[in-house]
Structure formats: C-alpha cells, structure tokens
Amino acid sequence: MNGLKQKITKEHLFSFEKLEVWKNAIIFSKQIYEITLTFPDTEKFGLVSQIRRATVSISSNIAEGSAKKSLKEQAKFTEIAFGSLLEVLNQIIIARELKYINNETYILIRNDILQISRQLNALKNSQLRRNNE
C-alpha cells in the first residue's frame, strides 16, 4: 500500500462496518476463539475448526452481502449469516454435551447467539421491507 498511513474515520468505513450486528459478530468470534482454546487438542481439526469457521462466517456474510446491489441479495446473505449462527449454536450444544464447556459458558454463548439472531432478523426484515418500497 505504498507505506501510506491514514487514520480511519467514520467517512472511511464500509457500510457493514457501521452495523451493530456486524460489530457484535466480530466480538462473538473473538469470544469463540478464546473459548475453543480450552478444547482438547484432539479437537483442533474437528470441532474447534468447524465452530471457528462457522463463527467467522457470520460476520463475513454480513460484509459480503453489503456489497450486493439489490436488497433482496443482501437479505440472502443475512439469511446465510443466520444459518451460520445456528450452526455455531449446534456446535456449542455438542461441546457442552462433551463437557468441553460448562453450563455457565454455554448460557453466556447462548445469550449472545440470541442477541445476534434478533439483530440479523431485524436487518433482514429491513432489507426486504426496503426492497418492496
């Protein structure tokens, strides 16, 4: 980048970077990465890899969808992000059943998933509503 250093301001943000749901998905990804550090080494290429990919997919699909021209297409990517969120929930349930996480951690993650799911639904509904205007 030619060594140019520039302070990033609100005017320099892409549209997805302004979304609270995207910001929360990034925080959620960091939490999942930290939590999965405690999983057994035998799960490094199994559950840990799978849950991390699904978690990153949430914010990635929000970002990718924001680049789509039509609101209907944007809503499709928001829906894919929602699917990834539910994939994480399923994997967290499995992790709890395998006793890789305790019930307190499970409840905290579940609450984060509930919050993000509500935000994704609101975003999708907004995209579809504006598409029909």
Do 70 and 130 form a contact (C-beta atoms < 8 A)? no
Do 57 and 84 form a contact (C-beta atoms < 8 A)? yes
Name the pLDDT band for 12 (thresholds 50, 70, 90): confident
Q: Is 1 a residue whose pLDDT tops 60?
A: no
Maximum pairwise Cα distance, the chain: 52
pLDDT digits (tens, 9 = 90+) for 55-83: 999 999 999 999 999 999 999 999 999 99
Do 93 and 119 form a contact (C-beta atoms < 8 A)? no
The mean pLDDT of 70-98, rounded to a whole number, is: 97
pLDDT digits (tens, 9 = 90+) for 32-48: 999 999 999 999 999 99
- Looking at residue 6, its pLDDT comes to 59
- Looking at residue 10, its pLDDT comes to 63
DSSP state string for 69-111: SSHHHHHHHHHHHHHHHHHHHHHHHHHHHTTSS-HHHHHHHHH
Domain boundaries, the chain: 19-131
Q: Let me know if 110 is exposed, middle or buried by CB neighbors in 10 A (0-12, 13-18, 19+).
A: middle
Whole-angstrom Cα distance, residue 63 to residue 74? 9
Angle, alpha carbons 105-107-109 (nearest 5°): 70
Give me the CATH code for the 19-131 domain, please: 1.20.1440.60
Name the pLDDT band for 13 (thresholds 50, 70, 90): confident
- Looking at residue 4, its pLDDT comes to 52
- Angle between helix axes 47-66 and 71-97 (nearest 10 degrees) is 160
Whole-angstrom Cα distance, residue 110 to residue 131? 31
Q: Which amino acid is at 114?
A: L
The mean pLDDT of 107-131, rounded to a whole number, is: 96
Do 52 and 95 form a contact (C-beta atoms < 8 A)? no
Q: Is 7 a residue whose pLDDT tops 80?
A: no
Mean pLDDT is lowest, of 27-31, 49-53, 107-111, 126-130, for 126-130
